[in-house]
Chains A and B, each alone.
Chain A
């Protein structure tokens, strides 16, 4: 058994958060692709509460919840830190991580729904983007300043998955002229070393998420 295992799924942004953190810190790991339609006994054993990915297994001990895994990685492998060292700056980072954790999923509600429910989710998503645009990024290159940090990784759904959602549902949410800073950041983030070589293929994602949405709406 490898020292470190990452259990994830290829189209999941949450999976990628951990993958990038591992690669940015140069931590060797083994990747295990899980089938969420047929969850392995191992996954259920490692994450009995949520039965979700990602799960990081280190020396046989599981850690669950992507942003909690990132804090664990930062504490255990301090090279290329994802969090600043100053307690106040760390609190600001954690504030924005919580913000995106709580508000980010509205984009996925847009993906999963139609009609009034979808309209509300679009509104929520726009509000979320507006808050980030106005309060979180400032004039910095990355949320983390000169280097990618925890907030950049947490917001990666906006950089790479939101486009897919927009195309699948046929609604543009992140309009460049409305969110110039955020739009610029999405480009910068996706061109960053390590990130650019480790992004799920967008065409494949389009196929996957189109099918997923069709299934969801059919069963609704």
Chain B
């Protein structure tokens, strides 16, 4: 087979491209990385993702694929080793359900509802976030990973929680999950964040804290306008 060209467009800090990087590395796929500066987007990025102008973009033999969860499904279909999705259609539907839940509810609540808010608005979101996270806690019952014995699509989709949640907690000065209410989630965070491949690819913690702090300040300033 001709040599495949696989490129991932990412930033150093965003959790979404990490999903793609994990997937490719777990499958042992060789790829090149292109780091983007989102304040100065490259012409290539704009060409490959004209609709959203965002990362990640996967470039495979010259064809761009955008949206991280869409990319994960593509990667799983192209490279069959280390499957991310189960075989059974009903189990696949459940995996897709939780991946979507992670993006629509978990990410939204924790970043836009809590990190980027303050005072009363933030206080009101916290019980909602707890309810949302409780669903994840339930889903982990009897499982090491969301994918079962091995890391799967849902683990990669929710993986940002295992590292970025701690960073967000530090930035806002508030602990969101504790051992009493979320023992399984905390255990999953430990297992996932230290798993081979995953643990080698986290961005540097101190720099992330600084970046998230700055993003938070900017978001709060925008709200005051």
Chain B residue at minimal CB-CB distance from A72? B93
- In the complex, A208 has a CB within 8 A of chain B: no
Q: Known contacts A68-B100, A88-B74; is A95 also within 8 Å of B66 by CB?
A: yes
A24 within 8 A of B: no
Q: Is B156 an interface residue (CB 8 A)?
A: no
Q: Does B129 sit at the interface, judged by CB under 8 A?
A: no
B65 interface neighbour in A49, A63, A72, A91, Cβ under 8 Å: A91
Q: Which of A164-192 contact B (CB under 8 A)?
A: none
A-B contact pairs, 21 of them (CB 8 A): A58-B90, A63-B93, A63-B97, A65-B96, A65-B100, A71-B92, A71-B96, A72-B92, A75-B92, A76-B89, A87-B74, A88-B60, A88-B65, A90-B74, A91-B70, A94-B70, A95-B65, A95-B66, A95-B67, A98-B67, A131-B51
| CB under 8 Å from chain A, chain B span 24-64 | 50-51, 60, 63
Flag whether B135 is at the interface (Cβ < 8 A): yes
Chain A residues near B73: list those with CB within 8 A: 90-91, 94
Contact, CB under 8 Å: B78 / A87? yes
Identify which of residues 97-138 in chain A touch chain B, using a CB-to-CB cut-off of 8 Å: 98-99, 131, 135
Question: Which residues of B lie under 8 Å from residue A140 when comparing CB positions?
Answer: none
A151 CB–B CB distance under 8 Å: no
- In the complex where A75-B89, A98-B70 touch, is A88 in contact with B96 (Cβ < 8 A)? no
Partner of B93, one of A68, A90, A135: A68
B5 at the interface (CB under 8 A from A): no
0 or 1 for each of A123-159: is its CB under 8 Å from B? (1 = yes): 0000000010001000000000000000000000000
B90 touches A72 (CB 8 A): yes
The minimal Cβ–Cβ distance linking B88 to chain A, given in whole angstroms, is 9
For B69, list chain A residues within 8 Å (CB).
98
State the CA gap A49–B139 with chains docked (Å). 11
Q: Most chain-A CB neighbours within 10 Å: which of B51, B69, B73, B135?
A: B51
When distances are taken between beta carbons in the complex, the residues of chain A under 8 Å from B97 are: 49, 63-65, 68
Give the tally of cross-chain contacts (CB within 8 A): 58
Contact A69 B93 (CB under 8 A): yes
Is B124 an interface position by the 8 A CB rule?
Answer: no
User: Within 8 Å CB of B96, what residues of A?
Assistant: 65, 68, 71
Residue B23, interface by CB 8 Å: no
Closest to B98 in A: A49
Interface membership of B202, Cβ < 8 A: no
Chain B hits for A76, CB < 8 A: 89
Contacts of B51 in A (CB 8 A): 95, 99, 131, 135
- Please name the residue on chain A nearest to B58 by beta carbon: A91
What is the distance, in angstroms, from A48's C-beta to the closest C-beta of chain B?
Answer: 8
Smallest CB gap from B90: residue in A: A61
Beta-carbon nearest neighbor of B71 in chain A: A91
Which B-chain residue is minimally distant from A75 (CB atoms)? B89
Shortest distance in angstroms between B4's beta carbon and chain A's nearest beta carbon? 13
Q: How far is the CB of B138 from chain A (nearest CB, A)?
A: 9
A34 CA to B38 CA, complexed, in Å: 46
* B92 proximity list for chain A (CB < 8 A): 71-72, 75
Within 8 A of A (CB), among B78-121: 78, 89-90, 92-94, 96-97, 100-101
Q: Chain B residues near A69 (CB, 8 Å)?
A: 93
C-alpha gap A86/B67 in the complex (Å): 18
Assuming the contacts A68-B96, A68-B97, asked whether A94 and B50 have C-beta atoms less than 8 A apart, the reply is: no
B77 interface residue per 8 A CB criterion? yes
CB contacts (< 8 Å) of A99 on chain B: these are: 51
> CA A27 – CA B51 in complex, angstroms?
36
Proximity bits, A46-73, B CB within 8 Å = 1, else 0:
0001000000001001011100110110
Residue from the set B51, B65, B93 with the largest chain A CB neighbour count within 10 Å: B93
Given contacts A68-B100, A91-B74, 19 further A-B contacts (CB under 8 A): A49-B101, A63-B90, A65-B97, A68-B97, A71-B92, A72-B89, A72-B93, A75-B89, A76-B89, A87-B77, A87-B78, A88-B74, A90-B74, A94-B67, A94-B73, A95-B67, A98-B67, A98-B69, A99-B51
Shortest distance between the CB of B97 and any CB in chain A (Å): 6
A residues near B71, Cβ cutoff 8 Å: 91
